[in-house]
Structure 1
């Protein structure tokens, strides 16, 4: 079952971004993941906007693959740099439909 990692990041110090952006994609890929978007073009169309600089959406084959990515020793220095230079929230969602009324999604 596919899962999606949503990274909601408010940058507080931009120093970490170039090295992170240049290297983390390969680490994500090593764990079967791929970026679907990594964008700062955030438009709130309902509700109160977030104080977010960027949102990244990544697809992974499983929760285990996401956990392997975030705990990969090769990612550790980039993770620490991001954490030190931002307020970040990472969320994992699966590909299910909680209500169970969308026929092409598994019932959640």
Structure 2
């Protein structure tokens, strides 16, 4: 099995693992999460702008350093990113933060 199909078998962050479609959809665009508490999951970035992708994501999780807080992922600036269906880039773990005070 090639690497691309292996990546598409992963779970998607935020999807219900007991739902009817727990895995990625081949027509959507994903970032592979590397390192940290969400290592191995995919993040659906289909409708994200280039600026949003370049910024990365703060994802809520119970599995990080601060349960209920956020874990931070961002792409490496020199790594290529193609706007196409499938797994098109990687977001790398850069740290964890407590839950924002306004939540």
TM (norm. structure 2) is: 0.25
Larger RCO: 1 or 2 (CA < 8 Å, sep 6+): 1
Task: Tell me which structure has the larger Cα radius of gyration.
Answer: 1
